[in-house]
Amino acid sequence: MAPKAKNKSLPFDPNGMFSGMTVFLIETAVQPRRVQIWKQKLVQMGAKIEDSFSKRVTHIFAPDMNSLLQKMDGDRLKRFKGKVLNYQWLEDSLRMGEKVPEGSYVLSMGTGGNSRSEGTEENLEKHTDGNNLSVDNPSPVKKIKTCCEESRTVGSGEGGKVSANAGSTSASSHSSRSLSPEVTSPSLDGQYGDVSTSDTALLYSPPDLNRNITAIFGKLIDIYRALGDDRRSFSYHKAITVIEKLPFKIESADQVKHLPGIGKSLQDHIQEIVNTGKLSKLEHFEKDEKVRTISLFGEVWGIGPATAMKLYEKGHRTLDDLKNEESLTNAQKIGLKYFHDIKKRIPRHEAQEMESLLQKVGEEILPGVVIVCGYIYIYIYISCGDLDIIITHPDGKSHIGFLPKFVQRLKDTNFLREDLIFSIHSEEGTDSGVDTYFGLCTYPGRELRHRIDFKVYPRDIYAFGLIAWTGNDVLNRRLRLLAESKGFRLDDTGLFPATQSSGGKRGSRGSASLKFGTEKEVFDFLGFPWLEPNERNL
């Protein structure tokens, strides 16, 4: 039977985007939980579900043609006048908040998968930011999944931080979720079991119906980050994570004034956007030469707010102006040279193929090595801005010396092309023993550069790396503040007792981290409610 039409997250809408559809679902080779959620969403948005095939059916959904033919007679299927679509159409439509073109998702006799109709590539680009989306048969269960684009700071460069941005953190990067086949958790202890990313995206990432607001807030995030104002950029980030999940279109700020992270100032911004379709604050920034220039320079890998300001004060106004700037570091020059490459997103199917390549090479060098792409359960995109790879080994010692061999093998095959940061600490035991490599890679057979990061963690602090790279900014900040309230300093390398400086203020972190075997142990110690990886998009 179809699930009840109403639940807490999304009210029943008889005129929703699936109104008029009568659906029959082929459940072979699909996780029951995924089917339950699909049915729920279909009914909530106006469709009717048939438990068996009948003349009333207008749409059949199946994972592939082989699964369909196991359940239905071929001759009967040929007489069917309705639409036979891959489940991916349903998932992508839910993600986009509107029906996407059907042509590329049609299942036809003899294909065993999808048949891409003429002219659908152009239509798909309108829904995938120009990246062609591969909708072939879902790939099998894997240990790692495509990671997302997310600006973050890492210890290096000016002021102890270097901006490792892989492009804009605009609203599109926050909301363009994609739904993929189920994946296997990276836990070494079987802590999570199998997690369906379809469940993840449908439960925790409803369609962003308020892109008019989140797109503007996303631009303000970029501007404030470039200006070094982390407090303001974070406030807009928190607001986006709340607004993008709303199951209704905001028509008045009164509808969101009681929501967390939406204060009076943001309410005024929302009301202005609703009334006028724009925000005067953003327009002011975009007209300001200084803000515009610093924001542009801040998009170059390795250039942070302080350097961007110095470059502006030297009279530079364009990227071309920077080409002969002698003060740039080698990494910054590489970031400038491949500026436009780095900003281009990686289509999902290409990212998955590159992940498979990394797994294969890693196993050849060190059997049993664990290679995971960060944010695998929260940000599941149709494309990603860069690849963030977390590595460890279960025995707690074989990770030592792995990264140089891994990097060299990948360079020998021309997968890795340029180095940005390469630091080895595992052998010396410094910096918590975390080995780090940031660089540029290429999809096999191409010259287009993409950003890629490797972090190799000792097994006893691997849990901290997973938390940092699977939790969004909001969660990581809350955990850090909670740790500080308990007298600790938390980062991706561990949980350290905080020393006290003169005057009673918090000083530097201690030299040794507490040891925890799993992420849940860290959550429990901090007193923060346990969140599965697919719940960490706060």
**Domain co-membership, 307 together with 372:** no
Q: SS3 of 445, please?
A: coil
- Rounded to the nearest integer, the mean pLDDT of the chain is 76
Highest mean pLDDT of the ranges 47-51, 104-108, 411-415: 411-415
**Domain co-membership, 438 together with 466:** no
Looking at 65, 96, 127, the residue that finishes a domain is: 96
The reply to whether 122 falls in a domain is no
The reply to whether 226 falls in a domain is yes
pLDDT of residue 212: 92
What are the start-end ranges of the E strands in 381-501? 383-384, 386-392, 416-423, 435-442, 449-456, 488-491, 494-500
What are the start-end ranges of the E strands in 295-415? 346-347, 370-373, 383-384, 386-392
Question: What's the CATH number where 278 sits?
Answer: 1.10.150.110
The reply to whether 376 falls in a domain is yes
Please give the span between the terminal C-alpha atoms of the chain, in angstroms, as a whole number.
Answer: 33
pLDDT of residue 71: 80
> What's the pLDDT band for 7 if we cut at 50, 70, 90?
very low
Cα–Cα nearest to 197, from 139, 152, 157: 139
Give the largest CA-CA distance in the chain.
Answer: 83
**Domain co-membership, 427 together with 507:** no
The reply to whether 359 falls in a domain is yes
**Residue of 59, 174, 269, 450 marked catalytic:** 269
Q: What average pLDDT score do residues 476-493 get? A: 88
pLDDT tens, position by position, 353-404? 888 899 899 999 999 999 987 644 344 456 677 888 999 999 988 999 999 9
Helix axes 289-298, 280-287, angle to 10 degrees: 80
Residue predicted with more confidence, 265 or 126: 265
Cα–Cα nearest to 126, from 100, 90, 89: 100
Percent of the chain with pLDDT over 70: 73
The reply to whether 110 falls in a domain is no
pLDDT of residue 374: 67
What backbone torsions phi and psi does residue 270 show, to the nearest 5 degrees? -60, -45
Domain that holds residue 287: 210-326
- 8 A C-beta contact, residue 84 and residue 38: no
pLDDT of residue 533: 74
Question: What's the CATH number where 56 sits?
Answer: 3.40.50.10190
pTM of the prediction?
Answer: 0.58
Q: What average pLDDT score do residues 56-60 get? A: 92
Residue type, 112: G
Alpha-carbon distance of 441 to 443, in angstroms, equals 7
The yes-or-no verdict on residue 230 having pLDDT over 70 is yes
- 8 A C-beta contact, residue 319 and residue 300: yes
**Domain co-membership, 480 together with 514:** yes
> What's the pLDDT band for 454 if we cut at 50, 70, 90?
very high
Looking at 96, 127, 143, the residue that finishes a domain is: 96
The yes-or-no verdict on residue 520 having pLDDT over 80 is yes
Q: What average pLDDT score do residues 9-25 get? A: 78
Range in 29-38, 225-234, 270-279, 442-451 with the lowest mean pLDDT: 29-38
**Domain co-membership, 291 together with 351:** no
DSSP bridge partners of 183: 195
Range in 75-89, 338-352, 491-505 with the lowest mean pLDDT: 491-505
Q: What average pLDDT score do residues 510-516 get? A: 78
**Domain co-membership, 320 together with 284:** yes
pLDDT of residue 507: 57
Residue predicted with more confidence, 418 or 228: 418
> What's the pLDDT band for 86 if we cut at 50, 70, 90?
confident
**Domain co-membership, 360 together with 265:** no
pLDDT of residue 281: 93
Looking at 299, 326, 353, the residue that finishes a domain is: 326
**Domain co-membership, 502 together with 482:** yes
Alpha-carbon distance of 102 to 95, in angstroms, equals 15
The reply to whether 447 falls in a domain is yes
Question: What's the CATH number where 352 sits?
Answer: 3.30.460.10
Cα–Cα nearest to 214, from 261, 148, 155: 261
- 8 A C-beta contact, residue 277 and residue 270: no
- Could you tell me which residues come within 8 angstroms of residue 429 by beta carbon, excluding any fewer than 6 positions away? none
CA dihedral 131, 137, 138, 144 (to 10 degrees): -70
Highest mean pLDDT of the ranges 123-137, 194-208, 479-493: 479-493
The yes-or-no verdict on residue 204 having pLDDT over 90 is no
Highest mean pLDDT of the ranges 135-144, 245-254, 309-318, 493-502: 309-318
pLDDT of residue 338: 96
> What's the pLDDT band for 87 if we cut at 50, 70, 90?
confident
- 8 A C-beta contact, residue 528 and residue 520: no
**Domain co-membership, 295 together with 259:** yes
pLDDT of residue 429: 55
**For residue 527, what is the enclosing H or E element?**
none
Alpha-carbon distance of 55 to 62, in angstroms, equals 18
- 8 A C-beta contact, residue 203 and residue 37: yes
**Domain co-membership, 477 together with 440:** no
- 8 A C-beta contact, residue 407 and residue 416: yes
**Domain co-membership, 226 together with 322:** yes
HSE of 50, CA atoms in CB hemisphere, 13 A: 15
Sequential DSSP letters for 131-146: PPPP-SSPPPP-S---
Question: What's the CATH number where 513 sits?
Answer: 3.30.210.10
pLDDT of residue 167: 35
**Domain co-membership, 494 together with 416:** no
> What's the pLDDT band for 73 if we cut at 50, 70, 90?
confident
- 8 A C-beta contact, residue 241 and residue 235: no
Residue predicted with more confidence, 204 or 324: 324
The reply to whether 108 falls in a domain is no
The reply to whether 436 falls in a domain is yes
The yes-or-no verdict on residue 272 having pLDDT over 80 is yes
Residue predicted with more confidence, 181 or 532: 532
- 8 A C-beta contact, residue 322 and residue 297: yes
Number of domains in the chain: 4
Alpha-carbon distance of 66 to 69, in angstroms, equals 5
At 175, list the tokens.
Answer: 């909301």
> What's the pLDDT band for 196 if we cut at 50, 70, 90?
very low
pLDDT tens, position by position, 35-47? 877 888 888 888 9
pLDDT of residue 191: 40
Does 269 qualify as catalytic in the annotation? Answer: yes
How many CB atoms sit inside 10 A of residue 368's CB? 10
Q: What average pLDDT score do residues 223-241 get? A: 87
